[in-house]
């Protein structure tokens, strides 16, 4: 069997790749591995289980709950809530394990399982490997030769409806100021934040217009949310709103739209929040963590403002690792996955949107003006398929072409060649002050990649 766990839990087509049997078996395996590691020692173990609204989450939740309870773990079923809400409740309630069922921004037929350790943090890779090895060894829960609890030792299950209010209260409590006087359009992607995000904005004082707020189990991410911004852009202009925010299916991301309907991406949001946090004296070490895919305009803006930038490989897990290692307060990705470690253990789209709106309210300036702190340089990305991605770093001809391209671009441009981690292709990314130059340089480098690394 190939590795089940990817960079963000186990994910696949629900009821084919991700079956009820697999969900149940992994849950039993997780309970056993945590027990063997001493995580449950001296007390009766408890887990929080949440999901996004997609239809398959109903039977997968039942399977996870059954697996945990059969292994002697009590379950608090919190229902439909965002991933960061499950992480927050896992920490706030002091439970041993959190489980979230979601495939984030993926289309409705997909689903996923993410396990969270005590404190609401992502499980360490070694722990995920141990869970997978346990599952492989015993062929799932059904055939496992293990000492099953009976009688009063089986896990008990109850609905924990208080979780919604606790999470919203936590979000509003993180704000440095209220949002009175702002009109905000919230796009919940018909997903996990469809109720939470509008409620949090309203409690914080904003006038709220909600779109993408009617999940039916089938419409998650369908034409709405952070990967489909046209509806939000139109709604902001139509309602004369000050800004709009859009989440993905599990609401760990946030992108924004200004009053003119222009998109404000994750880099711009990070830049705005960096200045706000520094002004409040809570941007530790005056540093922001972001990936190498962040726009060069973001880096130049931070340099101009005297803020340090730590760059990581692509993926929020690498951003989070760097933030923890350096004790930094703010990090994120261009996609809108923003991590504020003083308030959350993972990216939190609703929190990000609230803090962005709070900055607009406190500054008394339009979002477009705040976003102008950085100028997004034209960025061209070309995927070159059917090449030997393993030879990117060893080709002298390719290295010479990159050096020449960087010389031509100067200080206001950059080149990034990134082998795909899952496909036989190389991504060529070029930024430049001029879009025609960016396109021309990217196309030239793509040709060199194709010629030198082609199979």
Catalytic site includes residue 420: no
Q: Which residues touch 26 (CB under 8 Å, ≥6 apart)?
A: 4, 10, 67, 113, 131, 135
The residue among 228, 16, 192 whose CA lies nearest residue 103 is: 192
Burial of 158 per CB tally in 10 Å (0-12, 13-18, 19+): exposed
DSSP codes of every residue in 271-328: HHHHHHHHHTT-SGGGEEEEETTS-HHHHHHHHHHT-EEEEE-SSHHHHHHHHHHHT-
Answer for the pair 105, 227: CB distance below 8 angstroms, yes or no: yes
| 230 appears as a binding residue in the annotation | no
- Measured CA to CA, the distance from residue 83 to residue 131 in angstroms comes to 21
Task: For residue 291, give Cα distances in angstroms to 270, 285, 334.
Answer: 12, 18, 8
| 395 appears as a binding residue in the annotation | no
- Measured CA to CA, the distance from residue 390 to residue 285 in angstroms comes to 37
| 104 appears as a binding residue in the annotation | yes
Of the residues 27, 56, 70, 104, only one is catalytic, namely: 104
Pairing of strands 263-264, 255-258: antiparallel
| 252 appears as a binding residue in the annotation | yes
Pairing of strands 110-117, 10-13: antiparallel
Could you tell me how far CA 44 lies from the centroid of its own chain? 31
Catalytic residues, by residue number, are: 104
Binding residues: 104, 248, 250, 252
Binding residues for Mg(2+): 104, 248, 250, 252
């Amino acid at each position: 069997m190939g590795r089940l766990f990817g960079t963000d839990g186990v994910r696949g087509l629900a009821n084919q790749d991700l079956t009820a049997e697999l969900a149940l078996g992994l849950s039993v395996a997780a309970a056993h591995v945590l027990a063997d590691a001493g995580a449950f020692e001296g007390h009766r173990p408890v887990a929080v289980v949440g999901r996004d609204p997609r239809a398959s989450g109903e039977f997968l939740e039942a399977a996870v709950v059954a697996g945990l309870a059969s292994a002697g773990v009590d379950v608090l079923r919190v229902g439909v809530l965002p991933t960061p809400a499950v992480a927050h409740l896992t920490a706030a309630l002091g439970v041993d394990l959190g489980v979230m069922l979601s495939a984030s921004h993926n289309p409705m037929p997909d689903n996923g399982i993410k396990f969270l350790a005590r404190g609401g943090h992502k499980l360490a890779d070694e722990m995920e490997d141990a869970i997978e090895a346990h599952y492989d060894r015993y062929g799932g829960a059904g055939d496992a030769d293990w000492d099953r609890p009976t009688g009063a030792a089986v896990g008990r299950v109850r609905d924990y409806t208080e979780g919604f209010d606790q999470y919203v209260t936590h979000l509003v409590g993180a704000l440095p100021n209220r949002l009175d006087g702002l009109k905000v359009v919230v796009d919940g992607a018909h997903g996990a934040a469809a109720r939470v995000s509008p409620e949090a904005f309203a409690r914080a004082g904003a006038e709220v217009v909600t779109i993408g707020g009617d999940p039916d189990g089938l419409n998650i991410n369908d034409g709405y949310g952070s990967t489909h911004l046209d509806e939000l852009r139109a709604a902001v202009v139509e309602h004369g709103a000050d800004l709009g925010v859009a989440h993905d299916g599990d609401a760990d991301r946030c992108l924004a739209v200004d009053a003119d309907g222009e998109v404000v991406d994750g880099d711009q949001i990070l830049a705005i929040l960096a200045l706000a946090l520094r002004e409040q004296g809570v941007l530790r070490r005056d540093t922001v963590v972001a990936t190498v895919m962040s726009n060069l305009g973001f880096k130049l803006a931070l340099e101009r403002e005297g803020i340090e930038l730590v760059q990581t490989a692509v993926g929020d897990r690498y951003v989070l690792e760097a933030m923890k290692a350096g004790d930094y307060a703010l990090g994120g990705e261009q996609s809108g996955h923003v991590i504020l470690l003083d308030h959350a253990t993972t990216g939190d789209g609703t929190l990000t949107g609230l803090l962005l709106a709070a900055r607009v309210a406190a500054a008394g300036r339009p979002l477009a003006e705040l976003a102008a702190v950085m100028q997004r340089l034209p960025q061209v990305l070309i995927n070159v398929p059917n090449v030997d991605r393993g030879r990117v770093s060893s080709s002298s001809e390719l290295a010479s072409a990159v050096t020449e391209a960087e010389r031509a671009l100067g200080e206001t441009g950059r080149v990034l060649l990134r082998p795909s981690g899952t496909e036989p292709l190389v991504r060529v990314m070029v930024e430049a002050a001029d879009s025609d130059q960016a396109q021309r340089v990217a196309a030239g480098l793509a040709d060199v990649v194709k010629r030198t690394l082609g199979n």
